Every structure is written in structure tokens, then in C-alpha cells.
Amino acid sequence: MASLTIDQLTKSFGAVEVLKGIDLDIEDGGFLVLVGPSGCGKSTLLNCIAGLEKTTSGEIRIGDRNVEGLHPSKRDIAMVFQSYALYPNMTVRGNISFGMEIRGVDKAEQEKAIQEVADILQIGNLLDRKPSQLSGGQRQRVAMGRALVRHPQVFLFDEPLSNLDAKLRVDMRTEIKRLHRRMGTTIVYVTHDQIEALTLATKIAVLEAGYLQQAGSPDEIYNDPSNMFVADFMGSPSMNLIDGLLLERDGGLEIEIEGYGDTKISLPAPDTAEMRGFVGKPIVFGIRPEAMTDPDGADRTSPQIETRDCFIEVSQPAGSDTFALTPLGGKECIARLRADARIELGAFAPISFNMTKAVFFDPSTTNRIR
Amino acid sequence: MSIPSQDNAINAGSLTRILIYTLLIFFVIYYLLPLWVMVSNSLKTLDEIRGGDMLAPPKDITFEPWRQAWSQTQIGVEATGLKPYFFNSIIMVVPAVFLSTFLGALNGYVMTKWEFPGVNLIFGLMLLACFIPFQIVLIPMARILGMLGLAGTLGGLIMVHTVYGLGFTTLFFRNYYAAFPTELVRAAQIDGASFFQVFWRILIPSSGPIIVVTIIWQFTNVWNDFLFGASFSSYDSTPITVALNNLVNSSTGVKEYNVHFAGAILTALPTLIVYIVSGRYFVRGLMAGAVKG
């Protein structure tokens, strides 16, 4: 087991710069999730850690060892691929033991290791089958078995669950989390699914266009996003980013937002030095759907609940909740109401804003204003 | 999966059906006629052939022409039959086929999984080898064989056919391996497998269909080749195609048509056997990867 440190890493394919100076680290035994939209460089970053791609500049350290120039097999890592990459001509047993065979581990020890892994993953009855005879979930397990058997310093997962159906994905997610708790090995995990990121990680790194947008605990990423990209990307439905105008009124700060038609609503904004710099300027007000509720559903522990009348255009019952769409700042915003909240479409209804959860962004730089 | 029965999809009258079958049977006869002529005449005596009808079945079957063609008839200066030339061809074909198949597989592996700058240019140039007419390379090839001291030997012919086959075998394997998931190679690398371990343990075991296609293709081409055989062999390294030509085109003595027919069938037999035995793999291999299986 070891920590992983990435220092000023860049990677170019010809003239195209894919990673533009990544600084990131994860402590020993941590679970780092790299998340971002397609093409953000997250898989490239993982391949760089694995040694499957050469880095252009910068440093990667596993433990206190610089792995620059080391062959993938010498880095003491194991990788689970998106397509599982099981050797089609070998049985499950052969797949798991292939690495040991190459390293010249003796037969008895190989067999012991295979049994141990098979017990952990409950694939003992599949050992003599070929990958083509396995279901998706079973292949996934075998792929993890092949990684586990190495007892590596770091596990690398490249979107391992994206080929599974929704139900199985949730099951395997739980299993990976359980496995991590049991083994305590450092894991780096790539996904584009932000739910997976939030549920699994001890640390999330959000990447976009080759830049690290934010790295932090799931709670930090979710509640304290450092820019509009992170705020919008994490969470489902995503955060409402509402255009408004910051005004000074009666010595305090207020954000004025256009509502339905000519109506306007004002909400109090935190009075900080940085916020004061934006008085009279447009500002983006970010609030998660669950912080916009019907008054009865509002978080009673919150010290600052503001209730305003908003025009409800559409409602989307989703079983456990009802989502209501209301125009604010020229956009459709989503409020998350209780399932049995009574709302009338095409009319104004009181919506409670939990202002302790509100965040503000500078629309010109998209950065957070604190 | 099979296509649903067409029985009641198109309501064709029995007249159409009769027409279709008549046409099909006609073409079957048309295509089988040359084979019939060859086989039946190779079993006749020379007198019977001279006497008349080429299409008639043999009156009294004799295997003498076959024995003659195989081991007794005069080819060139010696009366050895086609036998030594048949073995010359075998000695030439087997290594040429295996060498070109192996090198093609290696080329395909490198070109798809170990890409280097300019790989597409090199592949393009190798493809060119598939389209260059044989005649163009005759003189340079003769010069190179002379320099290597391989002129007029079976070794020289093996080299010529290996080099000439590389274009096609590389094309086959490159396209096959292009569809082979690179993640498998990466997984093997992480497992610590070396360049050749990946090749032998991961790629080759998954290449069955394309290997069969390449072997059939190369076997047929090398066995049937006449031009290189005629140009680069000497009297003790002549392949069977050239020997057959010498037999049939000899301008002295009586034309023994029955022996010629038997010799021609003997010459064509190995390729026929290869096709019959592995033909279904050929079709399967050509279609491999076309549909997700």
C-alpha cells in the first residue's frame, strides 16, 4: 500500500495538450475518483499513472518512488479495464494466474492465490470457464480478481461499471466499496458518473479540458464547489445556476432575480468583502434543487430559510419527490418538493430557499465568490 | 440465427421454380464439364482418345496414365514423372507459407499494437506489394538471388515467395488485429508480459480464422505460381507447375493426352484438398469480425 502523488503532470499527443499541469495526491488507503465529461483527460491521466502512456512532463510518485520511465509491470499497480480485457483464449483460472505465470511464481503458490481471490469474489465455481461463457457481472468480478491477485500498491479502475446494467451497477458499486474497506488499498477510479464518484470516493478530482477543476472530499465537491463547472457537473438534477443582480439595500446585500413575466424576487446575500466588490454587477446565484422546497419540506435546522412566491410551470413527480420547474433569471430552475406537496400548475406557489446552501459565482470568470 | 424461411414470403409459381432449377442445373453441368473431361480422359487409353468422343465415359478404365504421369513419363531429360517435382513444390511451399504467415502476423501485431510514426506510410507501401505485377520484380530479384548465392535453389524460391507474400499476409493480419482490443494487450503488459509473450500467448491463440485464411491463400498462390518457378529454378529445384508445362509442351514424340490430363489433375490436387478441407474456415475467416459474435 502506498500513497500516490502527481506533480505538475502534462501530457500531449502531438500538438494537442490533453493534460495541462495536474497536481493531485491521494493518501495511503484512500479512494480517489477522477470524474469529468468525455474527453476531459481522466482516462489519459489513469493511463499515465499505469505507465501505458508516456508523460510529457511532470512527476508521478507511488509511495516515495518516482515511477517515471518504469514499465507498467514494474510499478506495482493493477488495473481493471472498462471492457474487462479478459484474455478470451484462457479460462478464468488462466486469466487470474497469467501475471503470476509470467513472473514465475510457483504452481502451488499460484493455486493458493487463485483460491483466495476466488473466495473473496465468490467466483470459485467459474474458474474453469472461458470469459465468453460468463455474464457481464461475472466478467467484472474476474477482472477484479485478476487485479486483486497481484496485491498491488495501487488499484486503477477505468470506468469499470459502465458496461453493466443499472441494477448490477449499483450492486457492484457496493461491492467495490466493501472490497476497498476490506483490503485498504489505495484506489484510483475513473468514471463519468457523478453518483459513482460521490458514493465511492474519499477524494474526488473533477477534471475538465485537461485542467483539474477541484479536488476534495465528496462533501466539499458537492456543497462547496469552487467554480460553476464543478457545481453544474456534480449532482443530479444539477445545481440551479441563476443569473441575478447584486444590490445593496438597507446596508445589507441582496440578489435580485427575474421571475415569471415582470415579477422579480430578491434574496439576501452574505455580506463579505469579496461580495461587496460585485455590488451593482451581475452575479450567478447557485442553489441545489433540494435547497428549493415547499415551505413544509424546508430543512428546519437551517437558520436561514427565505420563502418567496415562484411561478410553477411544470411538475415532474418522481415517486419519492416531485420536481417543479420555475422560471428564474431567464432559465428553468428545478425545485425539489415533497412527493405529496400540493402544487398548482400555472400559478404562484411559495418556495423556500435554504440560503445556508447558496453559493455565488462571478459570471465572467465562472469562479466562486466567497 | 438463420433467415426466416422464404417458403411463403414470395408467392412464386411452380413454373418459375422449374425455370430456376433448370438454369441452376445447366450451370452446374457447365462448370463441372472440364473436370469431367479431365478425369474421364485420364482414365482412357491413348487409342480410345484418338478414336473419338472427348465427352464419352472411358470404355475400359485404365490407371496406367496416372502411373505414367506420377513416376515414369519423360520430363526434360529424365524419365522420372512428376514425382520429384511434386516434392520440390512441397519443400518450397511449406516453409514459404509458414514464414510469410508468421512474418505477416508479426507485422500486423507491430502495426496495430506498437504504432510508431510513419506506420501508415509503411503499411501503404506494403500494400503496394499486393498490386505490383510479378514481371516487374523479376530482374531485380534475379540479381538479389545471385548476390545471396541462392540463384536456382529451393531456398531462393522460398525467399522469393515469402517476400512476395508478405504484402498480403501483412494486410490480412493488420486488419484482423486492428479490430483486436488494445486493452487486452495493455492488460497483458501490466501483467508483465513481454513483446513476444503478448504475441504468442494473447494474439496468436485468438487468430485461428485469419491464420487459416492466410495459409490457404499463400498455399494456393505459391503452389500455383509458374512465373517465379520458371525464372528462378534450375533442373533440380523445378516446382511441379513448371514440370507440368514441360511435360505438356514437349515437342518431341507422341502427345500422350491421357498422361497430360492425369498430370494436370495431380498438380492441382493439393490446392483442391486444401480448399475442400478448410474452405469453410476460409469463408468464416473472411467474415470474422464483420458481425459482433
What CATH number does residue B145 fall under? 1.10.3720.10
Largest Cα–Cα separation, chain A: 81
Angstrom CA distances, B193 to A101, A208, B186, B187, stand at 10, 34, 9, 9
Is the previous residue joined to A237 through a cis bond, with omega within 30 degrees of 0? Answer: yes
Q: Residue B78: its pLDDT value, please?
A: 76
CA distance A128 to chain B (A): 17
Residue A80: strand, helix, or coil? strand
CA distances from A291 to A156, A299, A350, A368, A369 (A): 35, 8, 13, 18, 19
Residues A309 and A190 in one domain: no
Q: In this complex, do A146 and B186 lie within 8 Å of one another by their Cβ atoms?
A: no
| Pair (A34, A170) in one structural domain | yes
pLDDT band per the 50, 70, 90 thresholds, residue B289: very low
A325's enclosing H/E stretch is strand A321-328
Given its phi and psi angles, is residue A249 left (phi above 0), alpha (psi -120 to 50 degrees) or beta? Answer: beta
Question: What is the rounded CA–CA span in Å between residue A277 and residue A106?
Answer: 69
More confident residue, B6 or B197: B197
Examine the domain organization and report whether B207 and B168 are in the same domain.
Answer: yes
Strands A321-328 and A331-338: antiparallel
Is the predicted pLDDT of residue A221 greater than 70, yes or no?
yes
Q: Does B230 touch chain A (CB under 8 A)?
A: no
For residue B69, tell me if it sits in a domain: no
User: What is the H or E stretch that residue B222 is in?
Assistant: helix B208-224
- Same domain, yes or no, for A175 and A198? yes
Mean pLDDT, chain B, whole residue set: 85
Angle between helices B83-113 and B182-190 (to 10 degrees): 80
d(CA B95, CA B89): 11
On whether the CB atoms of residues B213 and B147 are closer than 8 A, the answer is: no
The answer to whether residue B1 sits within a structural domain is no
Q: Is residue B5 part of a domain?
A: no
In a domain, B6, yes or no: no
The pLDDT value given to residue A121: 86
A133: contact with B, CB 8 A cutoff? no
A326 plus A249 within the same structural domain: yes
**What integer pLDDT is reported at residue B10 of this predicted model?**
60
Mutate to test the interface with B, among A102, A159, A162 (most CBs of B within 10 A): A102
Q: Is B127 on the interface with A (CB under 8 A)?
A: no
- A30 vs chain B: nearest CA distance in angstroms? 22
**B180 and B256 share a domain?**
yes
* Cβ(A158)–Cβ(A46) below 8 Å: yes
Residues of A with Cβ-Cβ distance to B208 under 8 angstroms: none
Length of chain B, please? 293
A188 touches chain B (CB under 8 A): no
Find out whether B248 and B138 touch, Cβ atoms under 8 Å: no
Position B2 confidence tier, pLDDT thresholds 50, 70, 90: low
Alpha carbons A90 and B206: distance in angstroms, whole number: 10
Q: Please check whether residues B198 and B270 belong to one and the same domain.
A: yes
Note the pLDDT of residue B121: 92
What three-state secondary structure class fits B108? helix
Burial class of residue A135 (count of CB atoms within 10 Å of its CB; 0-12, 13-18, 19+): exposed
Which triple of cell numbers denotes residue B274? 486444401
Residue A256 has pLDDT above 60, yes or no: yes
pLDDT for B80-108, tens place per residue?
888 889 999 999 999 999 999 999 999 99
Give me the pLDDT at residue B9, please.
Answer: 62
Q: Closest residue of A to B206, CA-based?
A: A89
Q: Does B195 contact A at CB distance below 8 Å? A: no
Q: What is the pLDDT of residues A49-67, one digit of tens each?
A: 998 888 899 889 998 888 8
Residue A172 has pLDDT above 90, yes or no: no
The C-alpha atoms of residue A266 and residue A250 are separated, in whole angstroms, by: 13
Cα distance between residue A76 and residue A99, in whole Å: 12
pLDDT digits 0-9 by tens, A85-120? 899 888 999 999 998 998 888 999 999 999 988 888
B288 pLDDT higher than 80: no
Q: Considering Cα of A70, then A72, then A73, then A76, what sign does the dihedral take?
A: positive
pLDDT (average), residues A289-301: 86
Asked whether residue B62 carries a pLDDT value surpassing 90, the answer given is no
Q: Which residues in chain B are contacts of A104 at CB distance < 8 A? A: none
The crossing angle, in degrees rounded to 10, of helices A136-148 and A107-121 is: 130
CA neighbours within 13 Å on the CB side: how many for A107? 0
DSSP character for A41?
S
- Residue B243 — pLDDT band, cuts 50, 70, 90? confident
The stretch A210-239 carries a mean pLDDT of: 91
The predicted structure's pLDDT at residue B103 = 95
- Give which of A165, A226, A169, A210 is closest to A43, Cα–Cα: A210
Are residues A120 and A269 part of one domain? no
Question: At residue B287, what is the residue type?
Answer: M
In a domain, B218, yes or no: yes
Contacts of A83 in chain B (CB under 8 A): 181, 183
Are the CB atoms for B256 and B276 separated by under 8 Å? Answer: no
Q: How many domains does chain A have?
A: 2
For residue B68, the 8-state DSSP code is I
pLDDT interval class at A225 (50, 70, 90)? very high
Same domain, A310 and A280: yes
Domain check: are A264 and A215 in the same one? no
Judgement on whether residues B104 and B51 belong to the same structural domain of the protein: no
ipTM strictly over 0.85?
Answer: no
B71 touches chain A (CB under 8 A): no
Last residue of a domain, one of A207, A233, A259: A233
pLDDT band at A251 (very low <50, low <70, confident <90, very high): confident
**Chain B: nearest CA to A199, how far in angstroms?**
27
- Residue A226 has a pLDDT of 92
Tell whether B52 and B89 lie within a shared domain. no
DSSP state of B43: T
Please report how many Cα atoms fall inside a 13 Å half-sphere around the Cα of residue A53, on the Cβ side: 20
Last residue of a domain, one of A184, A204, A233: A233
End-to-end CA distance of chain B: 11
| CATH for A170 | 3.40.50.300
Does residue B293 surpass a pLDDT of 50? no
B245 reaches A (C-beta below 8 A)? no
Report if residue B68 sits inside a domain. Answer: no
Of B184, B186, B191, nearest to A102 by CB-CB distance is B191
Other Cβ atoms less than 10 A from the Cβ of B214: the count is 27
pLDDT of residue A93: 92
Average pLDDT (B29-46) is 89
Distances A343 to A190, A288, A290, A335, A351 between C-alpha atoms, Å: 41, 20, 16, 12, 10
Q: Establish if B283 belongs to a structural domain.
A: yes
Whether the Cβ atoms of residue A212 and residue A23 lie closer than 8 Å to each other: yes
pLDDT at B257: 84
Q: Are residues B168 and B26 in the same domain?
A: no
Residue B184, chain A, CB below 8 Å: the answer is yes
Rounded to an integer, the average pLDDT of A229-258 is 89
CB A93 within 8 A of CB A128: yes
- Out of A78, A79, A89, name the one closest to residue B205 (CB): A89
Q: Which of B101, B231, B97 is nearest to B173 (CA)?
A: B101
Verify that A206 and A256 share a domain, yes or no.
no
pLDDT at B29: 94
The predicted model gives A273-287 an average pLDDT of: 89
Residues in chain A with CB shorter than 8 Å from the CB of B184 are 85, 87-88
Query: Domain containing A274: what range?
Result: 240-369
Q: At A265, which CATH number?
A: 2.40.50.140
In angstroms, the CA A74 to CA A77 distance is 8
Question: Cell numbers of B56, please?
Answer: 464419352
Same domain, A150 and A224: yes
Rounded CA-CA distance A54/A69 in Å is: 8
Which tens digit of pLDDT belongs to each residue from B150-162? 888 888 999 999 9
Do B87 and B55 share a structural domain? no
Same domain, A224 and A252: no
Burial of A12 (0-12, 13-18, 19+ CB in 10 A): middle
Q: Which residues have CB under 8 Å from A370's CB, separation 6+?
A: A272, A274
B101 and B38, same domain (yes or no): no
Instruction: Determine the Cα–Cα distance for residues A267 and A234; give it in Å rounded to an integer.
Output: 24
- In percent, the amount of chain A with pLDDT more than 70 equals 100
Residue of A317, A32, A360 lying closest to A227 (CA atoms)? A360
Domain boundary among A208, A233, A258: A233
Helix (H, G, I), strand (E, B) or coil at A238: coil
Does residue A284 share a domain with residue A188?
A: no
Question: Could you tell me if B167 and B285 lie in one domain?
Answer: yes
CB environment A305-327: b (16+ within 10 A), e (fewer): beebebbbeebeeeeebbebbbb
What is the C-alpha R_g of chain B? Answer: 24
Q: Do residues A281 and A221 share a domain?
A: no
Query: Hey, how many other C-beta atoms are within 10 angstroms of the C-beta on B115?
Result: 11
Q: Is residue B91 part of a domain?
A: yes
DSSP states along A190-230:
EES-HHHHHHH-SEEEEEETTEEEEEE-HHHHHHS-SBHHH
Instruction: Specify the pLDDT at position A168.
Output: 85
B219 and B130 inside one domain: yes
Distance from CA of B106 to the nearest CA of A (A): 19
Residues B189, A87: C-beta atoms closer than 8 Å: no
Which domain, by its residues, includes B36?
14-62
Grid coordinates 467459474 are at which residue? A126
Lowest mean pLDDT among B47-56, B61-70, B112-121: B47-56
Q: Average of pLDDT values for B191-219?
A: 89
Chain A residues closer than 8 Å to B197 by CB? 102
- Rounded average pLDDT over B226-255: 84
> What band does B292 get if pLDDT is binned at 50, 70 and 90?
very low
The amino acid at A113: A
Chain B CA closest to residue A88: B206
- A264-283 average pLDDT score: 88
Q: Are residues B122 and B246 in the same domain?
A: yes
- Give residue for cell 483442391: B272
Cβ-count burial B19-29 (b if 16+ within 10 Å, e if not): eeeeeeeeeee
Cα–Cα distance for residue pair A81/A327, rounded to 1 Å: 43
How far, in whole angstroms, is CA A148 from its chain's centroid? 24
From CA B287, how far away is CA A335, in angstroms rounded?
Answer: 54
Lowest mean pLDDT segment, chosen from A121-135, A272-286, B176-190, B245-259: B245-259
**How far apart, in whole angstroms, are the C-alpha atoms of residue B262 and residue B39?**
7
CB contacts < 8 A, A to B, total 54
Residue A310 has pLDDT above 80, yes or no: yes
pLDDT, tens only, A71-91: 888 888 999 988 888 998 889
Question: How far A135 CA lies from chain B's nearest CA (Å)?
Answer: 15
In this predicted structure, what is the pLDDT of residue A241?
A: 92
